[in-house]
Every structure is written in C-alpha cells, then in structure tokens.
C-alpha cells in the first residue's frame, strides 16, 4: 500500500532522507534535512524521526527526543545515520502487522510464532499492551525504552509504522537491549542519489513500473524488489533475524527465493537507473542548493 500524501508534499526529499540515513551518509542526511526545512516541513521531520528511529535502529530509542529544536532533531538523524542498523523491530513489527491483517502465512509453526502473535495482539489492542509493558519493564533501560516508544507511537500515522514501535517495546521487555554501535564518518562521492526516487514517490513508482513492463516483470514485484535490494540497503546491519524472516516471507509471497529475487533485480536495475537519471540530476541540484538552517531560523516555521 502506498500512503496518501497531501498535494504539494515533496515526496522525493522525504524519501531521500530515509535512504541517506539507511546508507549511513551523514553529508547526504544533512543535505536532505536542509532541503526538507527549506520546504517548510520541519514539523514532518520531527515527527518522522520516531518512525525512522524504530524502523532503522530501534535500540537508539533509548536516546530519542522530539525537542522543538532544529539542531537537536538534526543530530538525532545524523546519529542514526552513523549507527550500525538494527532492523529487528522493523521485521517483527511488519510480520505482526501482516498477521493482524489475516496473513497467517507469516507463521512457520515454530516457537517464534508466539512473538508475532503477541505483537499482533498489541497492534489491535495497544491500551492493554502498554498496561502490560509498564508492569513488565524493570530495568532503567526497559522503562526508558517503553516510555520513549509510547511517545513515539503518537507521532506515527500508519499502522505498520506503529507496529515497528510496539515491536521495539516488546523486544526491550522480552530480551536484553543490544548496544547501539556507531561507525566513523565517511564521505561517499558516488552516493546513489537516485535511490531516493523510489516506490514511495510518484516519480519513482512510474519509472519502476515502466522498467518492469519493458522487461516483462509484474509491476508490484518490481516495486518489491526495488525496496529490498536498493531502498532498504543499510551501511551496516547487526544480526536482525526478524528482518531476514520478514524479507524471505514477503519475497516468497511472489514466488521468489532471496537468490532468485536478487537475480531478477539485477536484470531490472540498469533500466530503472537509466529512467531515473534525469530526475537524479534534478535532485542533486536541489540538495546542493538548499541552505543549512540553524536554530535562529526556527521562527520562520509554524510549529
């Protein structure tokens, strides 16, 4: 499902931000933030921090805050960009959301299925879940993660995003919270800017669909492949078995093994890149031109 956005929303800038964070490029993350703020979209940026945090590196939830401050929000995004990603909450949350929607094929008839069912129950009845979570949280970190997740949940608009956040609280209570590790800052002059123009944007969808039709691939399959093998690429990722399980399940629903899916995407990739080449150049120009905004400019925005 593609979320509806208001007319005039800069879908590409919003989409590019998350791709830059995933790939760990702080310079590109900063440029994306500059462009989004130039668009007068700081309120969205602050709210989106909740989703990107728990989707990309849920353990950073111990540090998250939503201050009405450009620099603090920017620093959070830059920290998540440099973090080694942990996608376990995204994977578990996605499977639980699908199960809550009646997709029983997410289950594997093993002991881990219970976790999907419990998070799915929480998605359907969050009040009961949070009452349980508050009682189960014992350590300071567990208490902090649950509280930060509850605050973050209010900022998530879509059910699947909420499921990521609920899954993070569940993981924090039922397991130890892994450390958040960071990588040194690197500069990537060949950053694939075109990856920000993906299936989450109208332009990206149209061009992915065009490439799919040219090569005889089903449109939805092409969008799915572009997500897992391009849009979702991370700089480095910690062992995230729930994420791997979710990816394998989703690809299997279209008849692919992971290896088969990679091969299919390799066939599509040149056509998609070629079709997005002109749009990529436009985005590069916009990213370079956007001024870096500082805290004293906050009064320009209606927050």
| Mean of the per-residue pLDDT values of the chain | 93
Tokens of 14: 């919003």
DSSP line for 186-200: ---TT--GGGGSSTT
The pLDDT score that the predictor gives to residue 3 is 40
Rounded Cα distance, 28 and 116, in Å: 35
User: Quick count: other Cβ atoms within 10 Å of Cβ 217?
Assistant: 20
CB 271 within 8 A of CB 211: yes
User: What mean pLDDT do residues 232-237 have?
Assistant: 96
State pLDDT tens for residues 157-201.
889 999 999 999 999 999 999 999 999 987 778 999 999 999 999
Rounded Cα distance, 167 and 219, in Å: 30
Residue with tokens 């450009």: 70
The pLDDT score that the predictor gives to residue 42 is 96
Angle between helices 42-56 and 26-38 (to 10 degrees): 150
User: What mean pLDDT do residues 212-231 have?
Assistant: 98
- Using the predicted structure, report yes or no on whether residue 151 has a pLDDT greater than 70: yes
CB 40 within 8 A of CB 13: no
User: What mean pLDDT do residues 68-93 have?
Assistant: 97
Rounded Cα distance, 231 and 56, in Å: 12
The pLDDT score that the predictor gives to residue 296 is 38
β-strand partners of 237: 85
3-state secondary structure of 57: strand
What is the pLDDT confidence band of residue 6, given thresholds at 50, 70 and 90?
Answer: low
Q: 262-294 burial, b if ≥16 CB within 10 A, otherwise e?
A: eebbeebeebbbebbeebbeebeebbeebeebe
State pLDDT tens for residues 7-52.
468 999 999 999 999 999 999 999 999 999 999 999 999 999 999 9
Report CA-CA distances (Å) from 209 to 3, 124, 204: 17, 34, 8
What is the pLDDT confidence band of residue 257, given thresholds at 50, 70 and 90?
Answer: very high
Tokens of 247: 């990816």
């Amino acid at each position: 499902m593609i979320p509806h956005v208001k007319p005039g929303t800069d879908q590409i800038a919003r989409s590019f931000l998350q791709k830059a964070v995933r790939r760990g490029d702080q310079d590109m993350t900063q440029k994306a933030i500059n462009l989004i703020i130039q668009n007068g979209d700081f309120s969205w940026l602050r709210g989106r921090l909740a989703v990107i945090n728990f989707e990309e590196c849920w353990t950073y939830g111990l540090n998250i805050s939503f201050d009405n401050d450009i620099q603090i929000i920017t620093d959070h995004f830059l920290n998540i960009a440099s973090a080694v990603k942990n996608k376990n909450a995204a994977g578990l949350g996605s499977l639980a959301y699908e199960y809550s929607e009646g997709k029983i094929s997410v289950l594997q008839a093993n002991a881990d299925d219970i976790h999907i069912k419990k998070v799915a129950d929480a998605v359907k009845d969050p009040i009961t879940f949070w009452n349980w979570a508050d009682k189960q949280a014992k350590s300071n970190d567990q208490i902090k993660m649950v509280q930060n997740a509850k605050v973050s949940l209010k900022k998530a608009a879509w059910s699947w995003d909420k499921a990521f956040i609920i899954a993070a609280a569940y993981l924090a209570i039922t397991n130890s919270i892994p450390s958040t590790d960071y990588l040194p800052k690197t500069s990537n002059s060949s950053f694939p800017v075109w990856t920000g123009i993906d299936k989450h944007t109208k332009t990206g969808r149209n061009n992915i669909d065009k490439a799919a039709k040219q090569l005889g691939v089903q449109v939805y399959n092409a969008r799915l492949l572009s997500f897992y093998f391009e849009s979702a690429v991370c700089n480095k990722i910690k062992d995230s078995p729930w994420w791997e399980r979710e990816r394998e399940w989703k690809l299997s629903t279209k008849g692919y093994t992971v290896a088969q899916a990679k091969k299919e995407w390799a066939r599509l990739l040149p056509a998609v890149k070629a079709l997005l080449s002109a749009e990529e150049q436009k985005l590069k120009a916009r990213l370079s031109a956007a001024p870096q905004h500082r805290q004293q400019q906050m009064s320009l925005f209606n927050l």
